[in-house]
């Protein structure tokens, strides 16, 4: 494993405690322990989806980092792969959270655009990694 991949793996691993805390806090809110946070059904669904996607995409980031050095792509393309997966986790989950932020929200807000940007980033990383692995 290259030093660059080790660096990115370490950075990604350091984000996991924040996802764990976010899940704990979300559980507290959904359990009614924070009465000042009253959420609509839409917000509950979006916040659950944001948290779930953050966790899954961070784990996918760690998995793809095991493969990136096996490709015969240029260093620039390898960096694009290393960065695209954690960035997509931030954008996708941020899109879910941001689109539902506010009081009494029942439809997605403007920050839903982050979700779509994250999807594009994820698909780009997936295609690049897949093609890079097939070529090698």
Name the nearest CA neighbour of 26 among 63, 3, 55, 1.
Answer: 55
pLDDT in tens, 6-26: 999 999 999 999 999 988 888
Residue 115, SS3 per DSSP: helix
Q: What are the residue ranges spanned by the domains of the chain?
A: 3-135
* CB-CB contact of 104 with 49 (8 Å): no
pLDDT for the residue numbered 130: 94
pLDDT in tens, 63-84: 999 999 999 999 999 999 999 9
* CB-CB contact of 115 with 96 (8 Å): yes
pLDDT for the residue numbered 30: 80
Averaged pLDDT score across all residues of the chain: 92
* CB-CB contact of 8 with 86 (8 Å): yes
**Residues found in the chain:** 136
């Amino acid at each position: 494993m290259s030093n660059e991949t080790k660096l990115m793996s370490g950075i990604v691993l350091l984000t996991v405690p924040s996802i764990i805390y976010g899940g704990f806090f979300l559980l507290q809110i959904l359990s009614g322990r924070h009465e000042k946070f009253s959420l609509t059904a839409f917000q509950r669904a979006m916040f659950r989806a944001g948290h779930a996607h953050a966790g899954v995409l961070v784990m996918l980031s760690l998995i793809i980092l095991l493969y990136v050095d096996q490709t015969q792509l240029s260093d620039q393309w390898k960096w694009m792969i290393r960065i695209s997966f954690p960035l997509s986790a931030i954008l996708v989950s941020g899109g879910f959270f941001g689109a539902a932020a506010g009081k009494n929200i029942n439809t997605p807000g403007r920050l839903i655009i982050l979700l779509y940007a994250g999807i594009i980033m994820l698909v780009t990383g997936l295609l690049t990694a897949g093609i890079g692995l097939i070529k090698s």
